[in-house]
Structure formats: structure tokens, C-alpha cells
Amino acid sequence: MSAFSADHPGAEARPSPNFGERRGGAVPDMIVLHYTGMTTGQAAEDWLCNPASEVSSHYLVHEDGRIVQMVREADRAWHAGKSFWQGVTDINSCSVGIEIVNPGHGLGYVPFPKRQIDAVIALCAGIRDRHRIRPERVLAHSDVAPGRKIDPGEKFPWRRLFDAGIGHFVPASPIRRGPTLVEGDGGSAVEEAQAQLALYGYGIDITGNFDDRTRIVVEAFQRHFRPRKVDGVADGSTLRTLCRLVAAIGS
């Protein structure tokens, strides 16, 4: 890949060879946030620019807030892998991918530094404005690839982004004792929960049976929107939060 000027002001340009054209005339209408899950930010940056890796992202945000752009926003980076959102399976063609340096769950998951999140917010705001991305289209890798991916994880401060005008969010409903839906349950309540998850965008079949896939998707939803307790159980807090999110779309 030849040198290019960064789309985001202040970003360092380090071209990755791992990219292609957006397919089918797609344009960016989504931001997908990841964590790197590697020992250091430099190792992640080098890997995303290594042709042997066959992965990339548009941006990498280091712990100190430094932003590196590796793929032009006009091009298709290879960050989402096998994924799905609102009927679309080629998430790479319709998204801008941002890798956020963090060792992740397997290497000592830690909170994200303030200056790093400040940089993520500024970066997302610029992408949002350039491509008119709707709040509910700012998503986690775990949202578009439930079970396969769990990043950027339950420690990612989605509320801070929302307060800065980035993403879709409602305060999670309180966790209280009461009826729950768990794996093995069935019936109209399960069907309604699946329908609400599908309506929001998750890849789930509406069967009325709380199967393993349903548990995985509920867990992904919790990781983003009800991170206090991520257990795959559709309790009242999870279901009320989901319904309020669906109702708030476009408001």
C-alpha cells in the first residue's frame, strides 16, 4: 500500500498491506470497536501491518492516546471476520474498524486509560461526522461476532462515549430478584426476547427455544449494555434494558 494522508487529524499514517475494496458499492455506516488482545501496542501495530497476518484495522489507538491509521476509511480493512449485524454478513465492507490497545481477557484485562478513551472519542466523532454514522451503529466486535469474540469487553466505558455524543446507550435497569430465562427454557417469553435481540441487530433465530446460541447472544448484549453481570441469563434487568434500547432507536 502506498503512503497516504491520514483521514483523522493528528493520526500517524502507517500503511498496512492488508486491505481491499469495499464490496458491492458499500460505504462506511458503522464503527466497530476492538481491543488488541496482545502483550504490547507495538506488537499489535506490527501484526496489523504484517502481510502474513491477513488482518488489519483502519485505526489503532495506543494507551497514551496516540492514533495510528493503517487503512484509508475509503478502503475495506480486515478486522471483523465472520460477523453479522441487521442482516449484513460482510461487516468489513460497511464499517470502520478501531483497535484499542489492551491485553484483553487472556493476558490480564485492565481498565482503559482516560487519555486513550479521550482519543477514541475524538476519533469516533470524526468518523461519525464524515460518514453520518447513526448512534446505534457504533458497536463492539462482540456484538457482531457473539461467542467468537468478546472484545472490547465489559470494562470498556460505553457510557463515557455516549456522554460525549458517541454511540447508543441507556443506563442498565437495576438487577433484582425475579423470573429469569435460561438455557433450556421455551415459550412466548423466549420468543419475544429473541425477537427484540434480532430487532436490535444481533444474529439470532426466533425459535422460542432458549438454546446455546441465545445464551451466547444474551451474554454479548450484557457485555456491552449490562456489564455489571455477564452470565447469559435473560433476567429482568437484561430484558428491560434491551426493550428500552430498542424503543430509544432514533429518539
Catalytic residue numbers read 99
Q: How far apart are CA 123 and CA 12, in angstroms?
A: 13
Residue 85 DSSP class? B
C-alpha neighbours within 13 Å on the C-beta side of residue 160: 15
Beta carbons of 55 and 178 less than 8 angstroms apart? no
Beta bridge partners of 149: 146
C-alpha cell at 111: 481498565
C-alpha cell at 85: 449485524
Residue 182 DSSP class? -
Number of CB atoms found within 10 A of residue 115's CB: 14
